[in-house]
A and B are shown apart, each in its own frame.
Chain A
Amino acid sequence: MSRPQSEAEYLARLVPASVSATSSRRTVLKGALGAGAALGGAGLLAACGGSSSGGTDATAGASGSAAATGGEVTFGSNASDEIPKKVVQALADGFKAASGTTVKINTQDHNTFQENINNYLQGKPDDVFTWFAGYRMRFFASKGLAGDVSDVWKNLTGFTDGFKSASTGDDGKQYFVPSSYYPWAVFYRKSVWTEKGYTVPKTLDELKTLSTQMKKDGLDPIAFGDKDGWPAMGTFDVLNMRINGYQFHIDLMAHKVAWDDPKVQKVFSTWAELLPFHQADPLGRTWQEAAQAVQNKKAGMYLLGLFVTQEMTANLDDVDFFTFPEIDSTIGADALDAPIDGFMKAAKPKDDARANALLTWLGGKDAGAVYAKTDPTTLIANSEVDTSGYTALQKKSAELVGSAKNIAQFLDRDTRPDFASTVMIPAIQTFLKDPKDVQGLCKSIEGQAKTIFTS
């Protein structure tokens, strides 16, 4: 639920809270002014939380949710939007009912939480806190800023190996408990496609043929907006994984491969071939505006995360999607971005037993059921959770991710955040302005990558 936060945060400053009473969790806007106050208060709250930990609990094992009853555990939450906030409250209530332990929730503005994570973890973090799988999680683990939750994993069931490896740090131990995820795919309106007789493209050539046809029909084939810098990363990711495969993506994100490698240049040059089919002038358009183009039947399709459907709530039954088509038959089309949200434990929780008990419960079926019931726009990580209440889109998304061989987190979650935000966003925007000089662009990225990854 983190992805579009820069946009949400941006909008949060623009729209008065009273105006924004929609139910969409990404566009529901929190008064950003409250963020500072929430931040200031969090440290204090964290400091006084968990003080009731009894001496007898210290001996309770990780699995001892039965042993560690009563008392209190602190929970740092970035769920500042309306629906996620409800989810967290429902989870806290559920844990209280199950164990008798009170969960003290410290909510911070989503974006503020993310930007202050370094200070937060080095200060007095809450026992359990919200975070994402990916590079940053492993980075905190290797720096000793996150707690080992391998013991919790011994009691978790219903997670595929994919989720487990996404929760594992560089040292082979687990540091993360997944809760939800969403896939990136190409979304379109069924009515438009039926009317014009379009079929889902299976290869790049078919995609190009389809796009050419859409142009003839007066549509912008691929909706596109990159004003905030991150949405185009999704296009880069999927092209890279289709052309060079998942492992190359991971190696590239870790800078084990140079950015001026011909394989990277091929990603950009393939993208350049597709750019004429994208909506023109993406750099002044937000993803919401691009989604509106699909919603208003002015654009044919849109590659984005499942959250795009929040802009189409009026016609949700008319929305369908497909995974990005194959480019190289030896690589296939079985990798995709599907960022995972979940929970982590502080390196030195005030109450380790209760923190573990909470994490065990959060990874379990009951918490998943609460999540599924309260937030219909995301997918539950635990496969044992009853998902009969899923919408058609949710079901199809779950199938898509379930059939994927490899799941990436997203460019800015799979690599260093300093590299993603200060190098890749400007670089991709430069590319979109001038797609011709791919070689110069890759050289420039590599030059900057070297200084960042060696520091």
Chain B
Amino acid sequence: MTVGGSDLPVVNPATVAKAPAGGSHKGAPRGGRVRRLTGNDRIVVFAMVIVPLFLTMVFVVLPAIASVVLSFASWDGIGGVSNIKWIGFENYKNIATNYPPFWPAIRHNVLWLVVLFFIATPLGMFFAVILDKNIRFSRFYQTPIYLPVVLSLALIGFIWQLQYSRDFGLINAILQFLGLQEPDEAIDWFGDPNIAIWAALAASAWRHAGYIMLLYLAGLKGVDPSLREAASVDGANEVKTFFSIVFPVLRPINIIVVVITVIESLRAFDLVWIINKGRNGLELISALVTSNVTGEASRIGFGSALATIMLAISLIFITIYLATIFKEEEQ
């Protein structure tokens, strides 16, 4: 990873020699950056800046701005802009006071983040550390843990429906087989709103842990073995080696893991949508946006207001993330 090849006698990550500021371009003289670009270079640079910028504008920034603007409107998506009625903050007022699914959705999104962050992500990291030990059949264990990430959403929905179905599901069947449950006391995993969110979170964590495991495993494989050797020579045990040496060295991966966890929990959507369209205990902001904007409903303004709220929440996390990154780069 960031710590160079094994020929580099690194002991402590804090004292690792930094890469030369000019990059690894060996041929370029120190003052090379001042040199004027050739015509071709300019075209390349221009294209590399303009094309992504254009795509970002068209597919990200403009739609986001349009959502914010439309959130102040009442529009059923039929006819041109002239049919749009501007109603100020009415949509936001309605969402907060006159839309029962909204507050549960906010709670569920937060719960989703907390569970992924404190349970699923550590679990995935734990799997990775275990599998990195070169235990026997490591690849054999690796496969089922990572499988959920590879499976299509269609299959995942099917699998969990088979598990959780009240009348025909595997979980209730096993409980009844073991005599832990009477048939008429069957647990309504997806129907009881107090249980459904946990059932969905279990399914989500199952997939998320596999994802994190793979990312982390890749990171762990890149850790210089001499680091660990040095640590063990110094008398550190496994746990201490991990937390004092390996974990800090994997800092870039850790940041990616945190960012992915936050992103995954904010955009959590597919699973609840395929379970019951994000209703009845599985309300999430993203599902509410979809059910209002897409489909025949076409409450464009109302849905846009929901989307804007989601954007605002995302911005909080993005700001924190960027602030941290920039702060580090300054140091």
Give A residues with C-beta under 8 Å from B.
6, 10, 13-15, 32, 114-115, 117-119, 122, 136, 143, 145, 227-229, 280-285, 289, 292-293, 417-418, 421-422, 425-427, 429-430, 433, 444, 447-448, 451-452, 455
Interface: B228 (CB within 8 A): no
Interface: B79 (CB within 8 A): yes
Decide: A417 near B188, CB < 8 A? Known: A281-B166, A285-B167. Answer: no
B295 with A421: CB separation less than 8 A: yes
A280-B188, A293-B167 known, 7 other contacts, Cβ within 8 Å: A14-B158, A145-B78, A227-B191, A281-B166, A283-B188, A285-B166, A429-B280
Residue from the list B74, B85, B153, B191 in contact with A283, Cβ < 8 A: B191
What is the number of contacts between chain A and chain B, taking CB atoms within 8 Å? 121
- B309 CB, nearest partner CB in chain A, Å: 16
| A452: B residues at CB distance < 8 A | 299
B157 with A14: CB separation less than 8 A: yes
| A429: B residues at CB distance < 8 A | 279-280
A15 with B188: CB separation less than 8 A: no
Decide: A143 near B78, CB < 8 A? Known: A13-B154, A115-B295. Answer: yes
Interface: B179 (CB within 8 A): no
A227 with B98: CB separation less than 8 A: no
Interface: B241 (CB within 8 A): no
- B317 CB, nearest partner CB in chain A, Å: 27
B297 with A417: CB separation less than 8 A: yes
| B196: A residues at CB distance < 8 A | 284
Nearest-neighbor residue (CB-CB) of A118 within chain B: B77
Interface centre among B164, B279, B291 (most CB of A within 10 A): B279
Residue from the list A14, A119, A426 in contact with B101, Cβ < 8 A: A426
Q: Please name 10 pairs of A and B residues whose Cβ atoms are closer than 8 Å in the assembled complex, sorted by A.
A: A145-B78, A227-B190, A284-B192, A284-B196, A285-B191, A418-B296, A426-B279, A429-B280, A433-B280, A452-B299
Decide: A284 near B99, CB < 8 A? Known: A14-B154, A425-B279, A426-B280. Answer: no
Decide: A422 near B299, CB < 8 A? Known: A283-B191, A284-B189, A451-B94. Answer: yes
Interface centre among A14, A115, A280, A284 (most CB of B within 10 A): A284
Decide: A15 near B158, CB < 8 A? Known: A229-B277, A426-B279, A429-B279. Answer: yes
| A447: B residues at CB distance < 8 A | 98
A284 with B296: CB separation less than 8 A: no
Decide: A433 near B193, CB < 8 A? Known: A14-B158, A281-B166. Answer: yes
A284 with B279: CB separation less than 8 A: no
Decide: A283 near B192, CB < 8 A? Known: A292-B167, A417-B297. Answer: yes
Determine the distance from Cα of A418 to Cα of B188 in the docked complex, in whole angstroms. 29
Interface: B276 (CB within 8 A): yes
| A433: B residues at CB distance < 8 A | 193, 280
Encode contact with A along B143-187: 1 for CB under 8 Å, 0 otherwise: 000000000011101100100111110000000000000001010
Residue from the list B155, B192, B299 in contact with A418, Cβ < 8 A: B299
B276 with A228: CB separation less than 8 A: yes
Interface: B57 (CB within 8 A): no
Determine the distance from Cα of A114 to Cα of B280 in the docked complex, in whole angstroms. 23
Instruction: Give the interface residue-count category, chain B.
Output: 35 or more
A284 with B191: CB separation less than 8 A: yes
Interface: B264 (CB within 8 A): no
| B190: A residues at CB distance < 8 A | 227, 283-284
In the complex, which residues 49-87 of chain B have their Cβ closer than 8 Å to any Cβ of chain A? Answer: 74, 76-79, 85, 87
Encode contact with A along B247-288: 1 for CB under 8 Å, 0 otherwise: 000000000000000000000000000101101100000000
A118 with B299: CB separation less than 8 A: no
Determine the distance from Cα of A347 to Cα of B299 in the docked complex, in whole angstroms. 23
| B29: A residues at CB distance < 8 A | none
Interface: B298 (CB within 8 A): yes
Interface: B100 (CB within 8 A): yes
Residue from the list B79, B158, B297, B301 in contact with A422, Cβ < 8 A: B297
- A246 CB, nearest partner CB in chain B, Å: 24
- A427 CB, nearest partner CB in chain B, Å: 8
A227 with B78: CB separation less than 8 A: no
Interface: B292 (CB within 8 A): yes
A14 with B186: CB separation less than 8 A: no
B279 with A229: CB separation less than 8 A: yes
Determine the distance from Cα of A349 to Cα of B43 in the docked complex, in whole angstroms. 48
Interface: B294 (CB within 8 A): yes
| B161: A residues at CB distance < 8 A | 14
A417 with B98: CB separation less than 8 A: no
A281 with B191: CB separation less than 8 A: yes
In the complex, which residues 184-208 of chain B have their Cβ closer than 8 Å to any Cβ of chain A? Answer: 184, 186, 188-193, 196
| B274: A residues at CB distance < 8 A | 10, 13
- A8 CB, nearest partner CB in chain B, Å: 14
Nearest-neighbor residue (CB-CB) of A455 within chain B: B74
B186 with A115: CB separation less than 8 A: no
Determine the distance from Cα of A117 to Cα of B294 in the docked complex, in whole angstroms. 10
| B279: A residues at CB distance < 8 A | 229, 425-426, 429
| A145: B residues at CB distance < 8 A | 78
| B94: A residues at CB distance < 8 A | 448, 451
Residue from the list A143, A421, A430, A451 in contact with B291, Cβ < 8 A: A421
Nearest-neighbor residue (CB-CB) of A32 within chain B: B154
B100 with A289: CB separation less than 8 A: no
Nearest-neighbor residue (CB-CB) of A430 within chain B: B100
| B188: A residues at CB distance < 8 A | 280-281, 283-285
| B189: A residues at CB distance < 8 A | 284
| A289: B residues at CB distance < 8 A | 165-168
Nearest-neighbor residue (CB-CB) of B168 within chain A: A289
B157 with A283: CB separation less than 8 A: no
- B296 CB, nearest partner CB in chain A, Å: 4
Determine the distance from Cα of A160 to Cα of B78 in the docked complex, in whole angstroms. 33
Determine the distance from Cα of A136 to Cα of B297 in the docked complex, in whole angstroms. 11
A115 with B158: CB separation less than 8 A: no
| A14: B residues at CB distance < 8 A | 154-155, 157-158, 161
A284 with B76: CB separation less than 8 A: no
B296 with A421: CB separation less than 8 A: yes
B191 with A282: CB separation less than 8 A: yes
| A117: B residues at CB distance < 8 A | 296
Task: Enumerate the 6 nearest inter-chain pairs by beta-carbon distance, A residue then B residue, closest first.
Answer: A284-B191, A14-B158, A283-B191, A281-B188, A417-B296, A13-B154
Residue from the list A10, A15, A418, A425 in contact with B76, Cβ < 8 A: A418
| A15: B residues at CB distance < 8 A | 158
| B280: A residues at CB distance < 8 A | 283, 426, 429, 433
A13 with B276: CB separation less than 8 A: no
| A448: B residues at CB distance < 8 A | 94, 98-99
- A368 CB, nearest partner CB in chain B, Å: 28
Interface centre among A417, A421, A452, A455 (most CB of B within 10 A): A455
A281 with B186: CB separation less than 8 A: yes
B165 with A115: CB separation less than 8 A: no
| B155: A residues at CB distance < 8 A | 14
